[in-house]
Structure formats: C-alpha cells, structure tokens
C-alpha cells in the first residue's frame, strides 16, 4: 500500500462523462489498497472562459490590474472540478472528500496570478486518508497570509499536484493528461515525435522552461527539490486497464542519468510562441547602458529572456531583448516614455511575430558542433536566425513565427528524433 497523488488536466476532466471515467480510475487505485489524493484542473476551456468574462468588463490593463479579483474568479474552475469528482467517486461507492486550496490550506505568496507555494498543511488530508477517504484538492490555487485566494499561473495544477506529493511524501505523483507521456517534441506539431520512457530531470526542466507545456516549470522544480518521482501518462486509456501495467506506462522523470540518455546528443525540441522582441535603437555605447535599460524593465517586474547588443557604429548601438508576449506593450511603452528620453536613444521598435525554438540534451555537454548543426539545418530551410542563446544542455534561437513548424520538423529529423518509419 502506498500514498499516491494523481493529477488530471483539463481535457481529462472535460465533461461529466470524462469525470466519471476519472472517478472509476481513481476508485480502482483506492480498491487496490492505495491512499489516494487527487488534484484536478478546471474542465477544459473553463479558465479561459472565466478570464474572458473579465476581459469583457475591463478589456485594457489585463496583466497589471484587477489581479486579486482575477484569482478569485479563475480559481472557481477548479472548485467545480473537485466538487463533481467527489460526487462521482461517492456515487461509485468510494468515500471521498473535496477541498479548496484555502481549506487544506495550501499557503502561497501573495503574488496574485503567479503565486508560489510556501507550505502545505498535511493534517486534514492525512486524517481523511486514514479514515479511508480519497482526498480531492483543487489544483492551481492557494491562499496567502491575509486569507486571499491566489493562483499559481497557467498550467499551475501540475505544480499543486507535485507540491502536495512532496508535502505528503507520496511514493509517486502521476500526471494524467491527453498525451501518453513526454515526447521528443509536441506530438501535435510533429506527428513523428517519439514518446520517451524516461527523461532526465534536467532535460525536463529545460524543456518545460523553454515552452513544452506538458508540465509547468515549477512542478519540475518542486520534483527536483523534494525528489518526488513524477510520471506523465494518459487518462485516455480504458479506466480498467491493469493497474500494474498502468503504473509502468507513460514517461518517468528520473534523477539518474543512464548511458542511453547520454548517447542521444539532442533528446528533445521545445518551442514557444509566447515571445516578443523589443529593440532600443541608437543607444550611446557607454558603460551602464544595459543596466539602465534592463533595470527599468526589471523594476516593472517584467522578465527578460534573451539579450543582444550589436557592435556599435559611430558610438551608437542597438540593444534588443525578448520578453513574454503578454508583457510586450507594457515594455515598449515603458521604454518609449522613460528610457529613450533618459538615454538620448533614437527609438524603440518591436516584433510580436517571433518564436523561440530550442534543442535540449544532456549529451550536448560532451559533444561539440551541435549548435552549428542546428544553425546549418535552419539555413538549409532558409530560416533567418534573429537571436541565439546557449547553455550547457540547450541552444535556443529566435526566428520568425511563421517558420516555427518548419524549423521544429527539420530539426527533429536532422537530430534523428523521428520515429522509425513502419
């Protein structure tokens, strides 16, 4: 008998029929003698629908205003899910109890819309488990010191589940979703993508941070910090599939690197459309410029990703960087209003039709020429590279968004990631 956490994503919870299937699957695990905690997301589309309602009332300034109320609103999607799932389980004859984040409580920082989990009280949950109940806890939300409801950022139910698993010292956290594991790249973009039976924690961390939304980055960070075994698997298999088979399916995130993993130079390709580029033109090339530009951006709480400064000509340089697309307008306005006049720069221009494509692999540590192969493959497709950044186990490029699919497919093939043809 073990303590197991299951997480079910939006599509897995997408209708009452699907919720009934989830209940049957969870009941199967409980009948096998496991202590079960379940963390569901809102039904698919629900979080977008809720946030859309807010936009109808207040179209402008989303992302900087109404944040507390947006969390109050968005958190309701998960409350619906836990209520329905508890009813479905009880209807199956399986005792179950549902909790909102604040009832557990899952304590978070007060950074509305992107709060961080500080602490989870396990008392109530353990008592219910010992009383034979399945405990169902809302994903995506928590409560701050002041009793305000907070949310953890889009895709945050993954993080709730792994954090709950860490707090309860669960044997494993199973992330049930609409694909049957972690693939070499998004299988919806590259049908030839291959499922990995195991992926190293470090690679998963890079893939998630570079845009693979199969797991929210913070869930991977939690898994690493508390050494929680995490497995990604499908909720679309028949619910009555043999439990032992199910428990070995999908993709396991491992903390040991095996030889096979090191052999693959590139093990995955990640991409993100959530990018925008901003350039400050005609900046006087003198010490302190980067700090003045990026300092102003940081003061506005805007995260900067890639940075590039071109060689100066006649004492003037251009300074470009990328931000999340949601922060683009705010960044551009801030630079125009404050930074350009202060520096005596010429202008600010930007581009929201860009994307970031990255190759990831721990094998890159011991192989040279991987990045140059990436650049060659892109040049053969006549794709212009606008920015580059590298680290030990990844290389990322910024390119025009219209070439995203072409670039990902070409790289997937060139780095031998395509499934063998049958």
User: 378, 412, 402, 414: which is closest to 191 by C-alpha?
Assistant: 412
Indicate the residue among 158 and 318 with the shorter CB distance to ligand ASP.
Answer: 158
SS3 189: coil
Give the length of the chain. 422
Contact pick of 29, 99, 140, 328 for ligand ASP (by CB under 6 A): 140
Total of chain residues touching ligand ADP, rule CB under 6 A: 18
Q: Which of 101, 156, 268, 361 binds ligand ASP (CB under 6 A)?
A: 156
| Residue environment code for 252-272, b if the CB has 16+ CB neighbours within 10 A, otherwise e | bbbeeeeeebbebbbbbbbbb
Does 156 interact with Mg ion (rule: CB under 5 A)?
Answer: no
Site for ligand ASP in 110-139 (CB under 6 A): 139
Sign of the C-alpha dihedral computed for residues 206, 209, 211 and 215 taken in this order: positive
Residue with tokens 């977008």: 48
CB of 154 to ligand ASP, least distance (A): 4
Per-residue interface string for the shown chain with ligand ASP, residues 309-328, x marking contact by CB under 6 A: --------------------
Contact region with ligand ASP (CB under 6 A), list: 90-98, 154-162, 170-178, 179-187: 154-162
b/e per residue 109-126 (b: at least 16 CB within 10 A): eebbbbbbbeebeeeebe
Torsion angle defined by CA atoms of residues 198, 201, 206 and 212, in that order, rounded to the nearest 10 degrees: 50
Report in angstroms how near the CB of residue 408 gets to ligand ADP at its nearest.
Answer: 10
Tokens 């109530």 correspond to 124
Tokens in use for 86? 């508890």
The span from the CA of 182 to the CA of 60, in Å, is 37
Q: Which of residues 168-227 bind ligand ADP (CB under 6 A)?
A: 177-179, 182-183, 185-188, 212-214
- By CB under 6 A, what part of segment 65-104 binds ligand ASP? 77
**Least distance in angstroms from the C-beta of 10 to ligand ASP:** 5
> Before 273, cis peptide (omega within 30)?
no
373 binds, among Mg ion, ligand ADP, ligand ASP, none (CB under 5 to 8 A by kind): none
19 sits near ligand ASP (criterion: CB under 6 A): no
253 interacts with ligand ADP by CB under 6 A = no
By the rule CB under 6 A, 418 interacts with ligand ADP: no
41 binds ligand ASP (CB under 6 A): yes
- How far lies 194's CA from each of 28, 46, 79, 183, in Å? 29, 30, 35, 5
Binding site for ligand ADP (CB under 6 A): 9-12, 41, 155, 177-179, 182-183, 185-188, 212-214
Binding site for ligand ASP (CB under 6 A): 9-10, 41-42, 47, 77, 139-140, 154-158
Binding site for Mg ion (CB under 5 A): 9, 155
């Amino acid at each position: 008998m073990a303590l197991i956490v299951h997480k079910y994503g939006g599509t897995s919870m997408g209708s009452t029929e699907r919720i009934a299937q989830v209940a049957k699957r969870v009941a199967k695990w409980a009948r096998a003698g496991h202590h079960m905690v379940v963390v569901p997301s809102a039904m698919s589309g629900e979080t977008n629908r809720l946030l859309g309602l807010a936009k109808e009332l207040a179209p402008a300034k989303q992302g900087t205003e109404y944040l507390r109320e947006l969390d109050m609103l968005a958190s309701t999607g998960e409350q619906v899910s836990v209520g329905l799932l508890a009813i479905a389980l009880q209807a199956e004859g399986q005792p179950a109890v549902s909790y909102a984040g604040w009832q557990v409580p899952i304590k978070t920082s007060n950074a509305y819309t992107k709060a961080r989990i500080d602490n989870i009280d396990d008392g109530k949950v353990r008592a219910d488990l010992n009383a034979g109940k399945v405990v169902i806890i809302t994903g995506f939300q928590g409560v701050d010191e002041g009793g305000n409801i907070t949310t953890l950022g889009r895709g945050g139910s993954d993080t709730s589940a792994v954090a709950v698993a860490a707090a309860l010292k669960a044997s494993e956290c199973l992330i049930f979703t609409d694909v049957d594991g972690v693939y070499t790249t998004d299988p919806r973009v590259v049908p030839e993508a291959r499922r990995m039976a195991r992926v190293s924690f470090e690679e998963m961390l890079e893939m998630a941070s570079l845009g693979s939304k199969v797991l929210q980055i913070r869930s991977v960070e939690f898994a690493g910090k508390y050494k929680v075994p995490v497995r990604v698997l499908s909720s679309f298999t028949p619910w009555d599939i043999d439990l032992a088979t199910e428990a070995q399916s999908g993709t396991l995130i491992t903390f040991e690197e095996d030889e096979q993993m090191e052999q693959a130079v590139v093990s995955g390709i990640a991409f993100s459309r959530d990018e925008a580029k901003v350039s400050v033109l005609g900046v006087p090339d003198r010490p302190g410029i980067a700090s003045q530009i990026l300092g102003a951006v940081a003061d506005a709480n805007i995260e900067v990703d890639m940075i590039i400064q071109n060689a100066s000509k006649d004492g003037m340089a251009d300074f470009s960087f990328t931000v999340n697309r949601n922060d683009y307008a705010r960044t551009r306005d801030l630079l125009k209003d404050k930074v350009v006049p202060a520096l005596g720069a010429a202008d600010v221009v930007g581009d929201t039709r860009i994307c970031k494509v990255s190759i990831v692999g721990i094998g890159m540590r011991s192989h040279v020429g991987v990045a140059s192969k990436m650049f060659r493959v892109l040049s053969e497709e006549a794709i212009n590279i606008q920015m580059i950044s590298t680290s030990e186990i990844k290389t990322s490029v910024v390119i025009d968004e219209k070439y995203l699919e072409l670039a990902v497919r070409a790289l997937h093939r060139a780095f031998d990631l395509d499934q063998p043809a049958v």
